[in-house]
Amino acid sequence: MSSQLSESSPVSSQAINLTGPGPAVAVVQLVSKLSVKDNLLAAALLIQRASLQGAQLVMLPESFAVFGDPQMVAYGAEAAIPKRGLRLWLSQQAKANKVWLIGGTIPCQEGIKDLNKVRSSCFVYDHEGAEVARYDKIHMFDVDIADSHGSYRESDTFEAGDELVVIDTPVGKVGLTICYDLRFAEIHARLVDLGAQIIVNGSAFTRTTGQAHWHTLLRARAIETQCYILAASHGGQHDHRQTFGHSMIIDPWGEIIVELDEGPGIAVARVNLEHLQSIRAAFPLQSQRRLK
């Protein structure tokens, strides 16, 4: 799907901090609904907006295109074939905007064991549209929450992944996580062992859990890993549930560089790996770990 956007085109919100050295990165926040077509148009406009702000790497939230759609398995079957469906769309967006694109998640059945389910898969594309990585969400959101939705059982629909992924990008070594993974510190420690300097998390945190834990968890992960954290989430009222928003970029000291509130928008900031190395040199946490 094509789109046109000028510098003067309105966007619901944006948070931009491009002070200091280093390449620019961006997180996209959405409020996706049941219409995949509308979701793709909204995402395309914001990817382009981030590119116009100079971002070399852009990240989408979890379930950016297919959000609660009853045809989840059908979309997953289509995505089992490279260069088709949503995987083709992501490739085209990366190439058209000349950015590395971390594609939130899409349902995918490639390599799946149970054909009645899908995996929640994060695909990454380089600035020429080549698919360079895939991470399948490891932790399933099977919880009970005191909100209008009540019970969440991702394992009814999704098959869990079992492999961690760190990739080389022009802005640094990036470790991939998805939403509920955020609550498991051991994943993040392993990503650092694998070389991560930046850890990304594509989410759809509920409003209830987001208000309670979102900021605390993200800042804790940044502080303990001494990594930049890029968190792209949904924020607002969907067709069937409500999400918290507050997509943000955090530095390795745990400082929030940029943050959105609710509604669609972009947050853009620079990643300074020299700053990261100075923090790790002053506080050599990784070499001081006693239990591994």
User: Looking at residue 8, what is its pLDDT?
Assistant: 38
User: Looking at residue 21, what is its pLDDT?
Assistant: 97
| 6 in any annotated domain | no
| 65 in any annotated domain | yes
| 186 in any annotated domain | yes
Q: In Å, how far from its chain's centre is CA 287?
A: 29
Domain carrying residue 131: 13-282
User: Looking at residue 98, what is its pLDDT?
Assistant: 98
Spatial separation of the C-alpha atoms in residues 34 and 265, rounded to whole Å = 19
User: Looking at residue 34, what is its pLDDT?
Assistant: 93
Q: What is the CATH number of the domain that holds 219?
A: 3.60.110.10
Active site residues: 62, 137, 179
User: Looking at residue 211, what is its pLDDT?
Assistant: 96
| 158 in any annotated domain | yes
User: Looking at residue 50, what is its pLDDT?
Assistant: 98
- Count of residues in the chain: 292
Q: For the chain, list residues with pLDDT below 50.
A: 1-10
| 137 in any annotated domain | yes
For the chain, what is the domain count?
A: 1
| 7 in any annotated domain | no
Diameter of the chain by CA atoms? Answer: 53
Both tokens of residue 179? 């939403």
